[in-house]
Amino acid sequence: MPQTVAIAINDLLDNCAQIQAGQNVVIVAAVDGLYGGMNVVDEQTIAWIQACVLGRGANATVVWADMPTRPALIWGNGSGAPQGWRVPPVVRAAIAAADVFINHCVDLSFEEELKEVREICAEGNVPMVRNMAPTAPLLASTWALTPYELVSEIRFQTASLLEPGQRWVLTHPNGTHLEGTVSQPAGVNRYASRRTEGLYRPWPEGVFPGLVSHDSEGEVVFEGTNPIWARHIGIPSRFESAIHADVRGGHIRAFRGGPDADTMSQCYKAIAQYLGEAAYEIRGVHGGVHPFAQVSEHQCPDPGYRDFIDHHHWSSQHVHLGNSQKNKDFPYNMHVTAEIRGATLKVGDRFVWNDGRLSALDHPEVRKVAERYPDRPGIEAGRWV
């Protein structure tokens, strides 16, 4: 394999997955991804990762799964509540029997898809290592070559700026002005944590924990959204014209704009039949932390997946629109985002971003980690782009 790919896979397995000799590791990929489906992957990547897991003295089982056929839209068919599909039984059994699950399927990403996947992992305390660079060209990219430790430190130091009780303000020249009070994050006692403490371990690392706030007020103006949920809503991930979301009392009160805003309004009205006001809740504010989360068309021909990678760039800010956690019977994790670039986010008297630049880049610990990798992409983008 190319040297850059070897460096990237070693980083994935040693620093993110933390593979140990004797572990049972299941590597899952979806067949449709080989032929243009959403679950982008190639066979060479799976073979390389399997070989490297075996080289560490662990057991590596590869499962090529056929994902269930289903409509892309999760609303609007008049048949009642959105129907979640089920994880194939063989895949469920393989994950449950593993010590580590290395996932190459968007369909099995519980951040954006089925709650069931998180439940399977939690039942057996199985970490899901999500390889978001599932093809050989992506493994060879500057994005994948950037040290996991460095991006993790940027994430940690950014999250350290989020203090419950502080006022926050998000602004952008496009007219966005949203503000509120930082709340305690749900289920944990602090924002600043390491991915290896939990069961969800995305690689390359990409975003910091969402700032939770229950009293947000103002307006968000955005021209794009997460491509996975854009598909579920039935709109492009980059809109024809900007959408304006009016926010009062921590909830969206109206979507305004062109045809995409109308479709989004209809979708939310349908989902609100099952989630109530929670469908309109502003669930969190956060964004990307990776300096090189941008790839070219020749590295990734799929435009939706390129947008997904872009979502993790350190200049990208996201406001999460909707909260499906309050209804256990709703099968999906809502992951609709208002995506903007170049915003300013201030928490208390400190900037998280200032005109799109992360303050954490100047933190001494971030600089110290970058210095440990002089021959890898770091925080000086001009040397590598």
Interval 115-166: pLDDT, tens: 999 999 999 999 999 999 999 999 999 999 999 999 999 999 999 999 999 9
Chain Cα centroid distance, residue 333 = 12
Please give the full DSSP string across 29-94, using - where no structure is assigned: EEGGGGGT-SS---HHHHHHHHHHHHHTT-EEEEEEE-PPP--S--S-SSSSSPPPP---HHHHHH
pLDDT digits (tens, 9 = 90+) for 159-186: 999 999 999 999 999 999 999 999 999 8
Rounded Cα distance, 182 and 214, in Å: 8
pLDDT digits (tens, 9 = 90+) for 329-382: 899 999 999 999 999 999 999 999 999 999 999 999 999 999 999 999 998 766
Local confidence band at 296 (pLDDT 50, 70, 90 cut-offs) = very high
**Nearest Cα to 372, choosing from 149, 205, 204?**
149
pLDDT digits (tens, 9 = 90+) for 233-280: 999 999 999 999 999 999 999 999 999 999 999 999 999 988 999 999
Q: Mean pLDDT over all residues of the chain?
A: 94
Identify which has the larger pLDDT, 69 or 14: 14
Reading the block at residue 258, the tokens are 């062109």
CB crowding 150-162: b at 16 or more within 10 Å, else e: bbbbbbbbbbbbb
Domain boundaries, the chain: 3-140, 147-383
Torsion of CA 136, 141, 145, 146, to 10 degrees: -140
Q: What's the predicted TM-score (pTM) here?
A: 0.95
pLDDT at 383: 67
Local confidence band at 188 (pLDDT 50, 70, 90 cut-offs) = confident
pLDDT digits (tens, 9 = 90+) for 18-67: 999 999 999 999 999 999 999 999 999 999 999 999 999 999 999 999 99
pLDDT at 71: 87
pLDDT at 350: 97
Sequence-ordered list of residues with C-beta below 8 angstroms from that of 306, at least 6 positions apart, any chain:
295, 297, 300
- Cα of first residue to Cα of last residue in the chain, in angstroms, is 23
pLDDT at 76: 67
Q: What percent of the chain has pLDDT over 90?
A: 90
pLDDT at 186: 81
pLDDT at 384: 66
- How many residues are given for the chain? 385
pLDDT score of 294 more than 70: yes
CATH of domain 3-140: 3.40.1830
Average pLDDT over residues 79-98: 86
Rounded Cα distance, 380 and 37, in Å: 35
pLDDT at 84: 76
Of the listed ranges 2-11, 324-333, 348-357, the least confidently predicted one is 324-333
